[in-house]
Amino acid sequence: MKKCVVALAGNPNVGKTALFNALTGARHHVGNWPGVTVEKRVGWFRYRGVKYEVVDLPGTYSLGSYSLDERIARDYILSGEAAVVVDVVDSTNLHRNLYLTLQLLEMGANVVVALNMMDEAEQKGLKIDIKRLSSLLRVPVVPTVAVEGRGIEDLKCAIYEEMTQHPRHHHMTVGYGRAVEVMIARVVDVLRSHPQLEKYSLRWLAVRALEGDRDILKIIEDAVGEESAKKIKDIQKDLRNVLDDPVIFFADKRYELIEDIVGESITGGREEWSYTDLLDRVTSHPIFGLLMFFALMWAVFEFTFRVAEPFVDAIDFLFSQLASFATRNISNAALSSLISDGIINGVGSVLIFTPNIFLIFLALSLLEDSGYMARAAFVMDRAMYRIGLPGKAFIPMLVGFGCNVPAIMATRTIEDEKDRLVTILIAPLMSCSARLPVYILFAGIFFAGREGSVILSMYLLGILLAVVTTLFLRRFVVKGKPSPLILEMPPYRLPSLKAVLLNTWERGSAFVKRAGTIIFAGVVVVWFLSTYPGGPGSDINHTYLAYIGRVAEPLFRPMGWDWRLVVALLLGFLAKEIVVGALGTLYSPSGGEEATLRSSLQSTFTPLQAYSFMAFVLIYVPCLATLATIRAETRSWKWTAFATVYLVALAYAVALLITAVGSLLGRWMT
């Protein structure tokens, strides 16, 4: 009996697994691809006396060398093991799916296109001219509905015919314009004389080499030797003189061709746009999309601050009553001081921000669940790629607004080690929820009526510094270009209330748990150090904490911060929430019974000092847990130390700069 290997390729979520099952039934086994832990499924079926082994390739959007999945799929097709490659295409989204198809054709694979999910295309009113599509692509195209088993026999027949009658197609080629075609031809000339490369499509190798695919360049270098490799590098240089970015250029040309193919093969379809199509025109627009993103972020912070205010005041009132109750009813001075000044004031000053934390997570969950965040990633990617960040870094950065620890862990989705390291090092600059209480406290006191804008400026400052840091790292430390982003846009939908509330609760309750554990422990330590050796009621200027603070105070004198702020910053190394907790303990007793933390701070600092302090809190090391995570994820003390030193130095420099510029402006205006 004859044998034939068939590979199944396709984008994720196109029904590839359903097609695999429809072709093979239960006849399959699961293993791993050699050397990696990516699942490999192999099944088989018989048709007209031939036994077909079906290899399910990982779902990919392209065949570059950016991710492990792409490399596995590409290397398998390059190996030539598969006689036929079935490209499973989502017929409702030909624009996106045909990109992979074109790449397979450029590679010279024997392709059969399975136009899957035809039922959904029909429901959407799309009429696909199968014959026209087939003639444009110059490969067989078979309509299928894999989940219902429709079109499977036709597909088997097409595979059989492709294997027996058309061992090698003369496929269509993508035209890249005269100037670039000349360069492709020059590379092909260099490759032509090398027999080791005969099994590959030389044109495809040339295109990939010009795109800068490192794996393909390695294959070429190994085959052609140094002298010929140098010629190719010279051609690459010539290309870069003509094009700003070859990767984008080649992708654009493929999409231009796809546009033509889709335009010619989809006929009679309705011209209706869904709400998603309508909104995407604006939310994915390079300018309006970006402006809308900032407008929505402003709305999130305004919502977080202003709507939470009555709840914050209610909790504040509750804690002040509790503290008074404890003071009145506990006769032991030390215990009374510990409970009212230490625990209730300290933990309370953090817990009063619980409504803000829950509201910010509620707002972000609403945006996530509506499908907007994918658009935000898309509009941000253009800018991110230019500064040297991979598009995939957006998600960890977004997670970083909640907590930097999972943000750093989320960088695991970034395949390229350098991209990942850069993202890990900038993640702490994303303003996590633990910093929010500091902003809310200071913005509420010093910038009343403008709190939303001031808090937003902190988040924007974090993003700006992440950009500067990335440029610095890419220029001097972790050199190289980031991977491009390929993102699936989910349709917009009304957020599910249950999912949103659950998500908000999971994230928000973590803040409350931290208040009950590490912050509780932190404020007790702060209370002890700020009460002794004199004991309760003694002058705070003669406590252990004052001694420690005064040692470090001269360093921060240029910013005008007193030793108590310095101490709060030092304790903030443990966890940022402790900063407010420590301020609650350090400032509340200073003005007698009438004094509150707010009024104490207001009488001690200027808005400029407050703003520079907020900036310092934003930038310097988030917490010990973040540092431990950086160590665990980079497996390097060197990078952990680098992150610590860099962030502290950057925080100091920015705070100093804000003070200097603000003072100069103040003098100039008066």
Residues 619-658 that bind other proteins (CB under 8 A): none
The answer to whether residue 452 forms part of the interface with other proteins (CB under 8 A) is: yes
| Smallest separation, CB 270 to other proteins (Å) | 12
| Smallest separation, CB 298 to other proteins (Å) | 5
Helix/strand/coil for 1: coil
In angstroms, rounded to a whole number, what is the distance separating the alpha carbons of residues 59 and 43? 17
Cβ neighbourhood burial of 226 (10 Å; 0-12, 13-18, 19+): exposed
Member of 179, 182, 242, 295 binding other proteins (CB under 8 A)? 295
| Smallest separation, CB 453 to other proteins (Å) | 4
In angstroms, rounded to a whole number, what is the distance separating the alpha carbons of residues 461 and 492? 30
Cβ neighbourhood burial of 311 (10 Å; 0-12, 13-18, 19+): middle
Helix (H) or strand (E) holding 107: helix 94-107
The answer to whether residue 296 forms part of the interface with other proteins (CB under 8 A) is: yes
Member of 243, 292, 410, 574 binding other proteins (CB under 8 A)? 292
| Smallest separation, CB 657 to other proteins (Å) | 22
| Smallest separation, CB 500 to other proteins (Å) | 15
Output 314 or 499, the one with its CB closest to other proteins.
Answer: 314
Tell me, residue by residue from 299 to 338, as one string, x for binding to other proteins by CB under 8 A and - for no binding: x--xx--xxxxx--xx--x---------------------
**Cβ contacts of 78 within 8 Å, gap of 6 or more:** 107, 200
Q: Residue count at the site for other proteins (CB under 8 A)?
A: 32
Residues 221-280 that bind other proteins (CB under 8 A): 271, 273, 275, 277-280
Output 279 or 432, the one with its CB closest to other proteins.
Answer: 279
In angstroms, rounded to a whole number, what is the distance separating the alpha carbons of residues 20 and 29? 12
The answer to whether residue 450 forms part of the interface with other proteins (CB under 8 A) is: yes
Output 598 or 631, the one with its CB closest to other proteins.
Answer: 598
Task: Render the burial of 68-87: b for 16+ CB within 10 Å, e for the rest.
Answer: ebbbbbbebbbeeebbbbbb
**Cβ contacts of 246 within 8 Å, gap of 6 or more:** 210, 211, 212, 239, 240
| Closest CA relative to residue 101, chosen from 27, 19, 10, 38 | 10
Tell me, residue by residue from 60 to 79, as one string, x for binding to other proteins by CB under 8 A and - for no binding: --------------------
Member of 281, 412, 479, 542 binding other proteins (CB under 8 A)? 281
| Smallest separation, CB 296 to other proteins (Å) | 7
Member of 94, 136, 229, 456 binding other proteins (CB under 8 A)? 456
Output 195 or 449, the one with its CB closest to other proteins.
Answer: 449
Residues 501-520 that bind other proteins (CB under 8 A): none
| Smallest separation, CB 279 to other proteins (Å) | 6
Q: How far does CA 354 lie from the centroid of its chain? A: 26
| Smallest separation, CB 299 to other proteins (Å) | 5
In angstroms, rounded to a whole number, what is the distance separating the alpha carbons of residues 162 and 171? 13
Q: How far does CA 222 lie from the centroid of its chain? A: 35
| Smallest separation, CB 274 to other proteins (Å) | 11
| Smallest separation, CB 13 to other proteins (Å) | 26
Tell me, residue by residue from 173 to 212, as one string, x for binding to other proteins by CB under 8 A and - for no binding: ----------------------------------------
The answer to whether residue 489 forms part of the interface with other proteins (CB under 8 A) is: no
Q: Is the backbone peptide bond immediately before 533 cis, with ω within 30 degrees of 0?
A: yes
| Smallest separation, CB 559 to other proteins (Å) | 25
| Smallest separation, CB 117 to other proteins (Å) | 25
Q: Where are the beta strands (DSSP E) in 216-317?
A: none
In angstroms, rounded to a whole number, what is the distance separating the alpha carbons of residues 338 and 340? 6
The answer to whether residue 288 forms part of the interface with other proteins (CB under 8 A) is: yes
In angstroms, rounded to a whole number, what is the distance separating the alpha carbons of residues 8 and 168? 18
| Piece of the chain touching other proteins by CB under 8 A; list 103-111, 282-290, 518-526, 592-600 | 282-290
In angstroms, rounded to a whole number, what is the distance separating the alpha carbons of residues 288 and 295? 10
CA distances from 411 to 206, 214, 365, 463 (A): 32, 22, 20, 17
CA distances from 66 to 2, 107, 214, 346 (A): 36, 17, 10, 48
The answer to whether residue 143 forms part of the interface with other proteins (CB under 8 A) is: no
Q: Give the binding site for other proteins (CB under 8 A).
A: 271, 273, 275, 277-283, 288, 291-292, 295-296, 298-299, 302-303, 306-310, 313-314, 317, 449-450, 452-453, 456
